[in-house]
A = this chain, B = another copy of it.
Amino acid sequence: MTAAMPVIEAKKLGLTFETGDGQVHALSNVDLTINTGEFVSFIGPSGCGKTTFLRVIADLEQPTSGTITVNGMTPQQAREQRAYGYVFQAAGLFPWRTIERNVALPLEIMGYSKQEIAERIGRTLDLVNLKGFEKKYPWQLSGGMQQRASIARALAFDADLLLMDEPFGALDEIVRDHLNEQLLKLWARTEKTIGFVTHSIPEAVYLSTKIVVMSPRPGRVTDVIESDLPRERPLDIRESPEFLAIAARVRDGLRAGHSYED
């Protein structure tokens, strides 16, 4: 493993949306460092700014205060160097392209060869178990299948930094387990840095080297938990006491961020 070099460094980051009836403080005073090769999960109640933070990293939203660097550059420079793979919360497939052409989209843009494209389409669609649906159009697929296609699209090219916004939200447990495992393998193999939003505590604990717990109004980081689980993680690690201890800490952090407790 290379020495921990900061990929993302956020300092006193803040973002305020102006809406018709006042301001929304989506992020405030966020300090966070993510190092190369880390797998960082973001967890927190809905509306706490997880998506917004990922969007700031990817240069899709401009912070209104504080600073953020990506690979030592501004997010914009990093984006222009195609440092990101991004999986959005909604699938966002292009309705005029078949599934395979959707997966091919970033590859075409990044100038991969025809052959390479074909090869990668096959590989990634296989990974998300969508073989046989290459020629279907998005609206002919179920919600979960669409989401898997959008994951395939982000995995098809080699971005060093993978940002995933609830990629497995619409999937069943089995597929989710399967994809969790695949993702871990991919991560181990490629040494990507991954930013991952999820609502599932076990998923966060199972996947991450670092778990960022957030809380809303204004969106801020309330806890950063470094996981000491080994890098090799069989699925049944989820029953281990270490695992459950981390999960409990995350749950407590989460609960603290909620207004209602019964």
Contact = CB atoms under 8 A, between A and B. Distances in A.
Which of A19, A51, A143, A176 has the largest count of B CB atoms less than 10 A from its CB?
A143
Given A90-B90, A169-B169, A262-B181, A45 B140 contact: no
Given A145-B46, A259-B129, A262-B181, A169 B170 contact: yes
Contacts of A137: 20
A173 interface: yes
| Number of copies of this kind of chain in the complex | 2
Contacts of A254: 172-174
A114 interface: no
A17 interface: yes
A172 B199 contact: yes
A217 to B, nearest CB: 9
B174 A258 contact: yes
A260 B47 contact: no
A262 to B, nearest CB: 7
A47 to B, nearest CB: 4
A166 interface: yes
20 contacts: A21-B135, A45-B172, A45-B174, A45-B175, A46-B143, A46-B148, A46-B170, A47-B141, A47-B145, A51-B143, A129-B259, A129-B260, A143-B166, A172-B199, A172-B254, A173-B200, A173-B201, A174-B257, A175-B258, A181-B262
